[in-house]
Structure 1
């Protein structure tokens, strides 16, 4: 009995020591936070498409909002800095995009998530989620500088614009998706090059 109590106490002590030694996650920089919000908002669009709460046409309009946000990020991060005024401007643009997503989710206009058009849009928006995650991860690890992230957000804006154009009439055809995919492939290659070059965040 005494032995098992000692063993239990020792185990509890070791466990608490292990938790105490786990380093706390570093707080996000403003640049990381704004790109992380892109990830979250693209994921909300994707979820809405999958549930049918967001139609293909609505997703196209929302991607137009996202393109505006990405263009702002590209401009603001061009010099490798993000000033308080630029952060406020970005927050306003992202808040508008967030409100528009919420409106689309709750306006009672539903899409068919199983339609070929919606499936194409879902695939494209999911790729946006993934590519924004790659940019955010690159900022977090230091593989991308803020300047590089800004250039990549310019590329994301082009992809968003292509998606918005493809979905403008509420239907994404095969040829339209192929055009979007070519833009996504170019963007993916740009992200890869930026993350594997010699430049590191300072």
Structure 2
């Protein structure tokens, strides 16, 4: 319980720091030079720190067995959506106070959702989560986490991440269809594993392009 409140306090502090820094960053310093026609590089350190804190909390929940791989995948996807919205706000070279407030609210809601997921689940070993398709769920989560990491480190563009996410969602829909009758055949499992392997390889190819 202490860890939960400590993490929540850290996220709140990060968001507050971003709010305090916003006015100072709204006006570039007198020696700031921008290339002609290039968008200004807007910084949102408080929001970025809060995103990292939430990402770490999801990972902690997964490792402790309090968050399942499928839950972690969905939470990371929401985090990625917030990153996409943040990038869209920054695209014109500025982030308005209203946009900063929206991002802070989005992060606060996501943080609360993470804590609810952790509080609502029993401490179940990851290997036992997800039923008979636990390994496939874990593979899906690992791919989602890798995409999120690629966006966060700017090694994946938003367009690339969006395309990868569409493939990821298509595999999830196929998996749901396979589960619908309560039986997932060996052939269906092989199909899911093959598609996930192809997707993972594509993610790695984009993140680590060969020279």
Tell me the equivalent position of 1:83. Answer: 95
User: Of the two structures, which has the highest relative contact order with CA contacts closer than 8 Å and spacing of 6 or more?
Assistant: 1
| Structure 1 unaligned regions, length at least 5 | 1-28, 139-143, 197-202
In the TM superposition, residue 190 of structure 1 has moved relative to its aligned partner by 3.4
Contact 1:135-1:149 within 8 A present in 2 as well: yes
The answer to whether structure 1 residue 41 and structure 2 residue 54 are counterparts is yes
Calculate the TM-score normalised by the size of structure 2.
0.50
Aligned ranges 1:6-85 → 2 under 5 Å: 30=43, 34=47, 37-77=50-90, 79=91, 81-84=93-96, 85=98
Question: 1:191 and 1:55, CA in 2 relative to 1: closer, same or farther beyond 3 A?
Answer: closer
| Whole-angstrom distance in 1 between the partners of 2:151 and 2:74 | 23
- CA separation of 1:133/1:59 partners in 2, compared to 1, >3 Å: closer, same or farther? closer
Look up the match of 2:202.
Answer: 186
Shift of 1:100: 0.8
Q: CA deviation at 1:130?
A: 4.5
Alignment root-mean-square deviation, CA:
4.3
Larger radius of gyration: 1
Residue segments in structure 2 that go unaligned for 5+ positions in a row: 1-41
Secondary structure in 2 matching 1:114: helix
CA shift for structure 1 position 96: 1.4
Q: How far does the alpha carbon of each residue in 1:149-200 deviate from its partner, in whole angstroms, 9 at most, with x for none? A: 544553575477568755897x9x844454445444434433445xx8xxxx
